[in-house]
A and B are shown apart, each in its own frame.
Chain A
Amino acid sequence: MSEIMHGAVAVVGGGIGGIQAALDLADSGFYVYLIEEGPAIGGRMAQLDKTFPTNDCAMCMLSPKLVEVGRHPNVQIMTLASVEALEGQPGNFQITLRQRPRYVDITRCIACGRCIASCVYQDAKFPSEFDVGLGKRKPIYIPFPQAVPLAAVVDPQTCIFFKSGRCPQNCLKACERGALDFTQTERVLTLDVGAVIVAPGFEPYDARRVGEYGFGRYANVLTAPQFERLLSASGPTTGKVLRPSDGKAPKKVAFIQCVGSRDLRHQSYCSAVCCMYATKEAIVAKEHDHAIEPTIFYIDLRAYGKGFENLVRRAKEEHGVRYVRSMISQVTEVPETKNLLVCYRDESGSLREEEFDLVVLAVGMRPSAKGQELARKLGIELNEHGFAKTSLFNPVMSTREGVFVTGAFTGPKDIPETVIQASAAAAAVEALLAPARGTRTKAKQYPEEFVSEGTPRIGVFVCHCGSNIAGVVDVKAVAEYAQTLPGVVHAENVLYTCSQDNLKHMKEVIREKQLNRVVVASCTPRNLAALFQDTIREAGLNKFLFEMVNIREQCSWVHSDQPEKATEKAKRLVRMGVAKARELKPLAVQSVKVTPVALVLGGGLSGMVAALTLADSGFETHLVEKSSELGSDLKEIARTPEGEDVQSLRANLLDRVCAHPKIRVRTNTAVKEISGFVGNFSTVLHRGEERIQHGVVIVATEAHEHKPNEYLYGEDGRVLTQRELEAKIERSEAREKTIVMIQCVGRNEQRPYCSRICCAEALQNALALLDQDPDRQVYVLYREMISYGFLEDLYRRARDSGVVFIRYDEQAPPVVRKERDQLFVTVRDARLRQEVLIKPDLVVLSTGVVPDPYNEELSRLLKVPLDAYGFFVEAHIKLRPVDFASHGIFLCGGSHAPGTISELIAKAQAAAGRAAIILSKEQLEAGGIVASVDPEKCTACLTCVRECPFGAVFINELGLAEIEAVKCQGCGICAADCPAKAIQLGQFEDIQELRMLEELFAYEH
């Protein structure tokens, strides 16, 4: 560790993982350089239409994050940049970057698209990277509509100017902002950073390398990423599923799984996400066009994550998606129709052929070539599959100290796991650089607000946006009209409202004319409202005395064929905006002091890891465990399926937790009562009625192996669970010769979910049994083999070692009986369609995991939700996997969902990292756009208490509803539901909304 310590971090890779890590770090006192190879951040997630298992729109989730990171004062996004070298040591690294020229000045570009329209290429003719080649782009283009930075980029590989030097450069002339600059050159720069997070993501497997499926030769064979673009409303067909060969809607669509995965000719591992994304794509395709009949050809259906089981069931039952267990031998094209013949071997071994209109290849994830080069430059090692080498117990640490790795760079994984690892990596960086926290971040200073109430003095700024608005709307007429509206003391036209010179001008006008309300009529408030609010704040106005009118995206750009009507509409919209502005009130933002102390509930693996992560970051942590000892969940586990020693992990954690000066452990202790809110909780413990003050809560209860009451378990000593077998093997007491393992025991209607870890446990134990005695016969009776990711290698090893795998149907589970002290197992082999009889010496049950029963009480105490099976429900399954919807409360451990030890460690680190964001702040800002109750009108009917999704409403000592500003998220549900109209939401008060409506219809031209 260096003596010098920089409070800045380089995050390499601008996908969802990099973005999450950057936001977590920047929000907790570190300056971040977010380094992206391409022209925009967003990564693979930006290209997705929907995400499984909820089929939420990917862009809806991602876009607010893009904007947030793009505007963050402590994040510097560097696009078209790649890493050249990393020197130095943890705390004091020098990272050297090479940044390619964009040929467009992003501070001037307003993404109007004029340069693109004027390009000498009249038609877009180069394959669009964003649309995976299905759409076309020009040499100058905007990567995608929601791109951050939102600016054009020139691709010198295709630009005529760079290729021939002879181009009229129409783009240069067309740009009204002078943003294009063809003299830009590559630059090399070196930055001082304390740590590096590496998140370069993955590459889809190149389907051309799997020649038998005809990708690249047959027009109607697509890859899944391409199909995703077809499904996307912003994709090349605006969301219509059409065949590339003839533009017709396909009827029969085949999805072929494991393309490039689970195949020794390609990649031996399972890509972990393809079963689910194919299921999602099949459902979404069907939703887009009901005539589509999707068929998914698969080997094992790996629906092992939270909510996955449900999605597959819905696909089958509600959407009629057909699943065929098979091996595909080849795909051939019917030349006349360009239809495709899929030749496959079904489970019984018969060869079949079926014709489809479209084939989608579920290509796997592979380590990207760029990621591998990056690893070389950073001096970190890769594993045998080419992914970043990590240790199971330190899943985000690379082989070089101070360099952390996250996301698909460490192995195939989905979005929530990537987000978890990103937050875990951020937490690890925080622990490393804790002393340097806040040394590189900037906090902006604002002048004191002047009292802005009283007669409205409104200033209206109507933007030309070059010709984007002015080319359609008569902006002069709009400004003149605004001048006539009541309350308006200033109205003017501005060429570009968002330009630096105009922002300065706005501040001057506010002072000169003593404006106390500002209306900007320009583009969408979703991008720039925060910028203008900041500007008026710099001029001493409360930032909520601002209203933005969208006359670009929602006027000039959609009504360019009717300029007069567009102008009328712009006037009406401005009139509405001014009407609202007249009613605006300054909103107070209060500061609430944060108690920088954490409470971790649950002293298992996850609780210990979370407590250590927080304590290492410098925060006092109370670790509270209900039972008599810490780490009891690890006691029965000797090693991981990969062979790592779990007992030494446990001992190490126990030592560190007990010795840590910042951790206070309480065992045999339950929680009696929790009150307060984010930043300031107060908890009473049962033991001694002790009261703890703390700023955050982490729920870290674990899941436990289910103890069955079937298959003679508990009646016959020769029937064990997997954990019990493991202990027996460990004690070298296993002597039995014939062993039958039954998977998915106790998985039924009430407990339909996959427990994710039992298949690997079975493989581990089966291999260990054979290791001790190769003459043994081990049978594994399974429904689906869930050996996702690198665990696939274990499955292959088990098959090669002679373990017999027999698949049974969910409807025909195996039967165990005892006759004259002999155990018999009968099972119907689903593949052979035959009854099989085995006489085992030992029957081992994979029983899955169940959540801690204590969850129910915690759910009640903390007012956080549980799902139907007793697991906690996170704030958002994709992007907020370790947060609860209620602020300041986080979750990890098996209480959230079953997981491997490695996954649980990452989740615990992530929860700690998320919690540290709050603890790192001296105070939290509360208020602004929040709801408040008028006590005169409240009748305490409890409607608001019931309807608030965030538990922000409580009944105060006067018996009336009151809203905790810190908890309120500003949705306004309570305000709309209140029968007494006693609740108002700041910035969206009823009077403001109603005035807008009145003024809209009062307009006469």
Chain B
Amino acid sequence: MNTNEPKIVAFCCHYCAFAAADLAGVLRLRYPPNVHIIRLPCTGKLDALYILKAFEAGADGVMVAGCLEGSCHFISGNLRAKKRVLAVKSLLPKLGIAPERLEFFNLSSAQGDRFAQIARELTERIKNLSPNPSPQEKGALEGGRR
């Protein structure tokens, strides 16, 4: 993978963040093509395992985007997801992965511009980090920090 182009996985909830990403398209905004969206019914469905799996498989960054707080279509899913993301974030250093590579966002479906902005900013942020351990290296890390 080209280090200039960090691969980012974006877990987006169907009702808000995914819709915001659609709106970014409708408004013909631009963000780097390295952001790949995986649609979930609700960020509440996001298993902590998915985040770890994404990093293991080679993701350089993971963003999780749910509805605005208080606006979750499933009442509390975004709050659950936020908790899990924060928990995983605190674990990442032990795996040699910078916690800045993982972020949780709240988006309304009308925030197409914010989605594009987040995608751009996260890409920039990750570009400025030292490269993520490759999947092969990770096995040899044994919990050490880079």
Is B19's CB within 8 Å of the partner chain A? yes
Interface residue ranges of A555-578 to B (CB < 8 Å): 555, 557-562, 565-566, 568-569, 572-573, 576
Partner among B9, B49, B108, B135 whose Cβ is within 8 Å of the Cβ of A57: B108
Which residues in chain B, 2-37, are within 8 Å of chain A measured between CB atoms?
7, 9, 14-16, 18-19, 21-31, 33-34, 36-37
Across-interface contacts of A233 in B (CB, < 8 A): 23, 108, 110-114
Complex Cα distance, B101 from A407, in Å, reads 48
CB–CB B36/A993 < 8 A:
no
The distance from the CB of A333 to the nearest CB of chain B, in whole angstroms, is: 31
Is A54 on the interface with B (CB-CB < 8 A)?
yes
Cβ of A92 < 8 Å from any Cβ of B?
Answer: no
Q: Does B57 contact A (CB under 8 A)?
A: yes
A-side contacts of B44, CB under 8 Å: 971-973, 976
Measured between beta carbons, the chain A residues less than 8 angstroms from B42 are 971-973
Q: Select the residue from B22, B29, B67 with max chain A CB neighbours within 10 A.
A: B22
Interface residues on A, range: 35 or more
Which of B30, B36, B58, B68 has the most chain A CB atoms inside 10 A of its CB? B36
Are A57 and B109 touching (Cβ within 8 A)?
A: yes
Minimum Cβ distance to chain A for residue B26 (Å): 4
- B75 at the binding interface (Cβ < 8 Å): yes
Q: Which residues of chain A are near B75, meaning CB under 8 Å? A: 885, 949
> A543 → chain B, closest Cβ, in Å?
16
Q: What residues on B are CB-neighbors of A57 within 8 Å?
A: 16, 68, 71, 108-111
A640 at the interface (CB under 8 A from B): no
Q: Is the CB–CB distance between A971 and B110 below 8 Å?
A: no
Q: Are B36 and A971 interface neighbours, CB within 8 A?
A: no
Partner of A972, one of B23, B45, B59: B45
Quick one: given A64-B15, A558-B31, are A56 and B68 in contact (CB under 8 Å)? yes
Question: Which one of B76-84, B89-97, B137-145 contacts A?
Answer: B76-84
**B126 close to A (CB within 8 Å):** no
Interface flag for A524 (CB, 8 Å): yes
Q: How far is the CB of A151 from chain B (nearest CB, A)?
A: 14
Give Cα A566 to B67, complex, Å. Answer: 27
Task: Decide: B33 and A555 in contact? CB cutoff 8 A.
Answer: yes
Q: Which residues from chain B contact A49 at a C-beta distance below 8 Å?
A: 110
Minimum distance in angstroms from B46 CB to a CB of chain A? 6
Q: Which residues of B contact A885 (CB under 8 A)?
A: 75
Could you tell me if A557 and B26 are in contact, using CB atoms closer than 8 angstroms?
Answer: yes
B47 part of interface (Cβ distance < 8 Å)? yes
- Report which of A63, A232, A239, A525 forms a contact with B39, defined as CB distance below 8 A: A525
Residues of A with C-beta under 8 A to B37: 550, 554
Q: Are B74 and A973 in contact (CB under 8 A)?
A: yes
Task: Identify the stretch in A206-214, A390-398, A995-1003 within 8 Å (CB) of chain B at 4 or more residues.
Answer: A995-1003
Q: Are B40 and A1001 in contact (CB under 8 A)?
A: no
A461 CB → nearest B CB, Å:
19
Question: What is the CA–CA distance of A998 and B54 in the complex, to the nearest angstrom?
Answer: 8
A975 an interface residue at 8 Å Cβ cutoff?
Answer: yes
Number of A-B contacts (CB under 8 A): 174
A60 interface hit (Cβ, 8 Å): yes
Contacts of B28 in A (CB 8 A): 557-558, 560
Contact of A988 with B113 in the complex, beta carbons under 8 Å: no
Contact in complex: B70, A56 (CB < 8 Å): yes
CA–CA, A59 and B15, complex, Å: 10
| B50–A554 CB distance below 8 A | no
The contact string, 1 if C-beta is below 8 Å from chain A, for chain B 104-134, is 0000111111101000000000000000000
Complex Cα spacing A885 to B77, Å: 14
Residues of A651-672 whose CB lies within 8 A of B: none
Report the Cα distance A63→B110, complex, angstroms. 10
Q: Please measure, in the bound complex, the distance between the C-alpha atom of A998 and the C-alpha atom of B55, giving whole angstroms.
A: 10
The yes or no answer to B86 lying at the interface (CB within 8 A) is no
Q: Is the CB of B112 within 8 A of A576?
A: no
- Smallest CB separation, A879 vs chain B (Å): 11
Tell me if A145 is interfacial: C-beta within 8 Å of chain B. Answer: yes
The listed residue (A54, A558, A972, A1002) touching B24 by CB distance below 8 A is A558
Let me know if A492 is at the binding interface, CB within 8 A.
no
**Chain B residue, CB-CB nearest to A998:** B57
Other-chain residue from A525, A576, A973 in contact with B45 (beta carbon distance below 8 A): A973
A181-195 residues at the B interface, CB under 8 angstroms: none
Q: List, in ascending order, chain B residues with CB within 8 A of A990's CB.
A: 47, 49
| A976 vs B53: C-alpha distance when bound (angstroms) | 14
Say which residue of B29, B71, B81 sits within 8 Å of A54 (CB atoms).
Answer: B71
Question: B41 on the interface (CB 8 Å rule)?
Answer: yes
Bound-complex Cα distance A971 to B109 (A): 17
CB distance from B122 to the nearest CB of A (A): 15
Report if A145-B39 is in contact (Cβ < 8 Å); known contacts: A56-B68, A569-B33, A997-B53: no
Q: Which residue of A lies closest to B29 (CB)?
A: A558
A1000 touches B40 (CB 8 A): no
Residue of B at shortest CB range from A553? B25
The answer to whether B71 touches A56, judged by C-beta atoms less than 8 angstroms apart, is: yes
Q: Please, which residues of chain A bring their CB within 8 A of the CB of B54?
A: 997
Contact B30 A558 (CB under 8 A): yes
CA distance A238 to B28 in the complex (A): 13
A60/B76 in contact, CB under 8 A: no
- State how many angstroms separate the Cβ of B108 from the closest Cβ of chain A: 3
Q: How far is the CA of A885 from the CA of B73 in the complex (A)?
A: 10
Closest to A1002 in B: B57
Give, as a whole number of angstroms, the nearest-CB distance from B75 to chain A: 4
Q: At the interface, yes or no: A769 with Cβ under 8 Å from chain B?
A: no
Docked-complex contact B77 and A971, CB < 8 angstroms: yes
State how many angstroms separate the Cβ of B10 from the closest Cβ of chain A. 9
CA distance A54 to B44 in the complex (A): 21
Asked if A929 is at the interface (CB within 8 A of a chain B CB), the reply is yes
CB–CB B41/A929 < 8 A = yes
Which B residues touch A565, using CB under 8 A?
33
Q: Does A552 contact B (CB under 8 A)?
A: yes
Q: CB < 8 Å: which of B38, B110, B113 contacts A60?
A: B110
Closest chain A CB from B17 CB (angstroms): 10
A525: chain B residues at CB < 8 Å are: 39
Contact status B74-A1001, CB under 8 Å: no
- Given the complex of chains A and B, what is the CA–CA distance between A524 and B19 in angstroms? 9
Query: Which residue in chain A gives the minimum CB-CB distance to B5?
Result: A565
Q: With A949-B75, A973-B77, A985-B41 as known contacts, state yes or no: A993 contacts B109, CB within 8 Å.
A: no
Would you call A730 an interface residue if the criterion is a C-beta within 8 Å of the partner chain's C-beta atoms? no
Indicate whether A970 reaches chain B with its CB closer than 8 angstroms: yes
Residues of A561-598 at the interface with B, using a CB-CB cut-off of 8 Å, are 561-562, 565-566, 568-569, 572-573, 576
Kindly report which residue of chain A lies nearest to residue B20, judged by CB atoms. A233
Contacts of B108 in A (CB 8 A): 57, 59-60, 233
Partner of B41, one of A558, A572, A971: A971
Q: How far is the CA of A988 from the CA of B18 in the complex (A)?
A: 15
For the complex, give the distance between the alpha carbons of A69 and B26 in Å.
21
Tell me the smallest distance from the CB of A388 to a CB of chain B, in Å.
32
Q: How distant is the Cα of A568 from the Cα of B46 in the complex, in angstroms?
A: 26
B14, B68, B84: the one contacting A976 at CB < 8 Å is B84
Separation of A573 and B10 alpha carbons in the complex (Å): 12
Tell whether, in the assembled complex, residue B22 and residue A526 are in contact, meaning their CB atoms are under 8 Å apart: yes
* Nearest CB of chain B from residue A895's CB, rounded to whole Å: 20
Q: Which residue of A lies closest to B75 (CB)?
A: A949
Alpha-carbon distance between A949 and B74 when the two chains are bound, in angstroms: 7
Could you say which residues of chain B place their CB within 8 Å of the CB of A949?
Answer: 74-77
State A972–B14 Cα separation when bound (angstroms).
12
| Alpha-carbon distance A988/B84, docked complex (angstroms) | 18
Residue A836, interface by CB 8 Å? no
**Cβ–Cβ contact B112 & A554, under 8 A:** no
Q: How far is the CB of B72 from chain A (nearest CB, A)?
A: 9
What are 29 A-B interface contacts by the 8 Å CB criterion? A60-B16, A60-B109, A60-B110, A145-B26, A146-B23, A233-B110, A233-B112, A238-B113, A525-B39, A553-B24, A569-B34, A885-B75, A929-B41, A949-B77, A971-B42, A971-B77, A972-B44, A973-B42, A973-B45, A973-B74, A973-B80, A975-B45, A976-B48, A985-B41, A985-B45, A988-B41, A1000-B7, A1000-B9, A1001-B59
10 shortest interchain CB distances as A-B pairs: A972-B45, A553-B25, A57-B108, A971-B74, A973-B44, A557-B25, A1001-B58, A949-B75, A1001-B57, A60-B109
